[in-house]
């Protein structure tokens, strides 16, 4: 009841922050107000670190799964996990008057705090640099599309070059055909060549040459038109394939967490390092507060209580050991008495056995003596008979 009255004197907000700092309010009530504010500050740092982890984890989950309720649930879970871990780190630090010992016990906790800060910083960086990351991803996507367009443009260009080459060759054949046609017409009109008008020998020869070239040109044109049509079909197919591949590429380009982290790593490192250092300083703040704070009344009371508990525990163990030793001594005495009684009993039994054995030996001696006497008597009687 007294502890409840004492605790009621502390405000509810301060009580909450003292809970976050894992401080014992019963011990704090016996300390000055400065101890209350010190541990409330430590608890507030632990609480806001957990809150920051909640927002950071929630945004990371939302970026990965694009699910609002899932991100809220897992964000709260992550925040509570970091809060509980920070609270554990603070509660396990014990103030002593030996700074070297404090530094040794704080080192693994600092390493763990730095790792937590690095994990928390990534989602926050993704949110802070969201516009820059989107721009980076846009240009990366555009670069991939340009590479695809360039690849198909080269393929289409190679077909177009073949078409141009075919047309150039066909035009050359057409020029030769037209040239022979003009010579043929001119010779038959009498305006050139022999100057004789009408179908003479030279006119027929040039007509025959023109018809041969014209036939070759028509055949070449048919083949060229077929090849050009095939190449144009291939060009149209490549153009459509380029459009389809571009659509597939845009659809396949992911917008997930890993892609954003990759884009984040391509940004300048200066602002990211500043954010990481800020979060590291926030994460290790509760530990540094406990390290840098002087050895206060709360620490003295806590150490006294722990020392008393340790003494009581050692005393209890010693008493239990003493009781055990006494029981062992009594049991040893009882066992010794049993052994001595058995020895006495065994001694009487051995005496009886000895007497019985002696009596048996006497009987055997009597029997043997009678047998020997009988043998001697019989021997004497036998000798008497022999002499007579």
On the question of pLDDT at 241 being above 60, the answer is yes
Model confidence over 339-369: pLDDT tens digits?
777 767 677 667 777 777 777 777 777 788 7
Q: Are residues 35 and 115 in the same domain?
A: yes
The alpha carbon of 373 is separated from its chain's Cα centroid by a whole number of angstroms, namely 109
DSSP state of 388: -
Q: Are residues 204 and 244 in the same domain?
A: yes
Q: Which structural domain range is residue 306 located in? A: 296-378
Phi, psi at 374, each rounded to 5°: -65, -40
Q: Are residues 146 and 181 in the same domain?
A: yes
Task: State the average pLDDT over residues 8-15.
Answer: 69
54 domain-assigned: yes
Looking at the chain, the whole-number percentage of residues with pLDDT higher than 90 is 0
The residue that leads in pLDDT, 4 or 173, is 173
Calpha distance 214→138 (Å, rounded): 58
144 domain-assigned: yes
Q: 10 Å Cβ neighbour count for 22? A: 18
User: Between the CA of residue 70 and those of 60, 61, 64, 120, 373, what are the distances in Å?
Assistant: 11, 8, 11, 18, 120
Q: Note whether 195 and 221 are within 8 A (CB).
A: no
Calpha distance 122→276 (Å, rounded): 8
HSE-CB of 300 using CA atoms within 13 angstroms: 8
For residue 40 the two structure tokens come to 């409330």
Calpha distance 275→54 (Å, rounded): 17
63 domain-assigned: yes
45 domain-assigned: yes
pLDDT for 6 equals 47
pTM of the model: 0.48
Q: Are residues 118 and 7 in the same domain?
A: yes
Residue 54: Cβ-neighbour burial (10 angstroms; 0-12, 13-18, 19+): buried
Q: What is the number of domains present in the chain?
A: 3
278 domain-assigned: yes
On the question of pLDDT at 8 being above 60, the answer is no
Best CA proximity match to 271, nearest among 110, 85, 133: 133
Q: Are residues 300 and 368 in the same domain?
A: yes
Task: State the average pLDDT over residues 237-257.
Answer: 69
Model confidence over 177-233: pLDDT tens digits?
788 777 777 767 766 766 666 666 777 777 787 788 878 888 888 888 888 888 888
Q: Note whether 234 and 159 are within 8 A (CB).
A: yes
Model confidence over 296-336: pLDDT tens digits?
676 777 777 777 777 888 888 888 888 888 888 878 778 77
For residue 148 the two structure tokens come to 């695809």
For residue 353 the two structure tokens come to 């056995």
Looking at the chain, the whole-number percentage of residues with pLDDT higher than 70 is 84
Model confidence over 141-184: pLDDT tens digits?
777 777 777 887 788 888 888 888 888 888 888 888 788 777 77
pLDDT for 252 equals 56
């Amino acid at each position: 009841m007294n502890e409840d009255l004492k605790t009621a004197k502390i405000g509810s907000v301060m009580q909450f922050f003292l809970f976050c700092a894992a401080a014992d309010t019963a011990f704090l009530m016996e300390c000055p107000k400065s101890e209350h504010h010190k541990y409330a500050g430590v608890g507030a740092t632990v609480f806001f670190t957990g809150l920051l982890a909640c927002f950071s984890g929630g945004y990371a989950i939302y970026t990965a799964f694009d699910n609002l309720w899932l991100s809220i649930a897992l964000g709260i879970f992550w925040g509570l996990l970091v809060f509980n871990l920070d609270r554990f780190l603070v509660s396990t630090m014990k103030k002593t008057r030996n700074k070297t010992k404090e530094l040794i016990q704080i080192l693994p906790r600092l390493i763990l705090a730095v790792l937590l800060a690095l994990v928390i910083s990534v989602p926050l960086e993704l949110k802070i640099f969201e516009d820059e990351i989107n721009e980076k991803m846009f240009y990366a996507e555009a670069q991939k599309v340009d590479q695809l367009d360039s690849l198909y443009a080269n393929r289409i260009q190679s077909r177009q070059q073949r078409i141009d080459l075919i047309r150039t060759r066909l035009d050359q054949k057409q020029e030769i055909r037209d040239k022979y046609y003009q010579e043929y017409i001119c010779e038959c009109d009498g305006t050139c060549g022999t100057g004789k008008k009408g179908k003479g020998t030279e006119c027929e020869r040039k007509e025959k040459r023109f018809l041969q070239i014209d036939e070759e040109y028509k055949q070449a044109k048919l083949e060229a038109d077929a090849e050009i049509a095939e190449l144009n079909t291939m060009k149209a197919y490549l153009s459509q394939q380029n459009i389809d591949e571009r659509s597939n590429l845009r659809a396949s380009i992911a917008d997930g967490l890993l892609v954003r982290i990759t884009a984040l790593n391509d940004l300048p490192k200066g602002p990211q390092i500043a954010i990481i250092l800020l979060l590291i300083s926030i994460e290790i703040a509760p530990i540094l507060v406990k390290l840098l704070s002087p050895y206060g009344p709360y620490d003295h009371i806590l150490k006294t209580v722990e020392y008393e508990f340790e003494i009581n525990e050692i005393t209890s163990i010693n008493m239990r050991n003493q009781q055990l030793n006494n029981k062992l001594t009594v049991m040893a005495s009882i066992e010794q008495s049993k052994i001595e009684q058995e020895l006495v009993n065994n001694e009487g039994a051995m005496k009886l056995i000895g007497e019985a054995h002696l009596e048996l030996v006497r009987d055997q001696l009597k029997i043997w003596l009678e047998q020997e006497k009988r043998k001697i008597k019989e021997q004497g009687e036998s000798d008497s008979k022999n002499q007579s």
